[in-house]
Chain A
């Protein structure tokens, strides 16, 4: 199966995506990829820290619970968590239905833009996905 991997996003090997916001370049929106949601199955709950929490690149900051398993969310960049997607509280299934759009998870104000350079572009991320 062909997984969607939008060209305008950055990716991590943990199957998260980042989108730099055009109107405020020091802010990124973070979610999980279509492949990740497909592997997880039905998402039923997200455990996320409060707004204002400081995140460290590479460190776990939350958990995503599906009907069959639980996975950690890792901060792809260092910064301050400035928003969480409140829609997910009542509709966690948005992560499955619309992983790159309505199912976004958190927004972060990044403290070091150079960290973005270490992330994967869509072509490099696609290399990590299984063929079939």
Chain B
């Protein structure tokens, strides 16, 4: 297993030398030494929005659950009914605690022959894997160290993925996942991502990772770091576990009800609390705030109601949107203030910056709008 715990000893990426050669500036993240940026966050952000970018997100933990009972066992610890997920499809899901709080958000991939892949956030990797082992025992295995996970994202991403990986990619629908043979080695490709753009994520053995990375770079992908990944996911209003969702927030107030299945009778951790939470009127909701004057709103800044003067929330995420050229952020607001069009204020180090509650996502791709 990867040692995620010891402070100071960062885990290095398999492709570290590739990132160094491309001028990456590294930063520690969840025990990993990760590329924060190469050319610059804004340029990388625009490359993904306008063309195609590539992210090495091998810090995300990858675990298999395999065997005839895998679906049923996964169902017992996750919120989405994976037993209804067809072979070749992936879906977003959650680990909740008994109170319905979100312990992590995950992607689950259904592959042929009762094989299921689960992708965990790096910061939660150890506890997530233990959770799987508790129910699945030897049927669960972690493959993080011996594989590399590359995300190829942007309007030209599917074309590039097809050019590199072959024609089977062209037929893929969103959230399809397939295993293909790439120059004699297996590559798992899913049409998923975390940027709000089209594209895919590929898992390849560490021994072929440099070759695959090079093929994407030579095909025109711009290397992009965690900095751009954060601005892209924020514009797409995708929550980040540890910021926007955590063990104290439940899926419904976070706008993640689509990841919770209650219609089947199967028990799973947190079910009773989530049934109750769904029926109870919400007291707060994760709302999306756009600055109406110039300035940058950031995580932790206080949100206040100008009518009462009361501080009503703190931003769970925030930053400058390179695509919209304004400050954007998220916060759990009392429902009466979470309505679209409500004007609030964010305290930007003493300056009251007006913000408006807007609908999600902040940014829509030209294809969506």
Contact = CB atoms under 8 A, between A and B. Distances in A.
Nearest to A72: B349
A68 B322 CA distance: 12
Contacts of B322: 42, 44, 67
A42 B41 contact: yes
Interface string A52-77: 00000000000101011010000000
Nearest to B325: A44
Contacts of A42: 40-43, 322
B320 interface: yes
Nearest to B231: A67
B42 A45 contact: no
Contacts of B294: 45, 89
Interface in B290-305: 294-296, 298
B319 interface: yes
Count class of interface residues, chain A:
10 to 19
A44 B43 CA distance: 12
A97 B43 CA distance: 13
Contacts of A65: 295-296, 320
Contact of A68 (B43, B227, B295, B351): B227
B71 to A, nearest CB: 41
B227 A63 contact: no
B29 to A, nearest CB: 13
A67 B351 contact: no
A21 B348 CA distance: 34
A75 to B, nearest CB: 17
Nearest to B320: A44
B41 A45 contact: no
B296 A45 contact: yes
A85 to B, nearest CB: 15
A41 B296 contact: no
B37 interface: yes
A65 B296 CA distance: 7
Contacts of B43: 42
B354 to A, nearest CB: 15
A67 B295 contact: no
Given A41-B227, A67-B322, A47 B295 contact: yes
Contacts of A93: 42
B320 A45 contact: yes
A96 interface: yes
A63 B320 contact: no
B296 to A, nearest CB: 4
B315 to A, nearest CB: 14
14 contacts: A41-B37, A42-B40, A42-B322, A44-B320, A44-B322, A45-B294, A45-B296, A45-B320, A63-B349, A67-B42, A67-B319, A67-B320, A67-B322, A93-B42
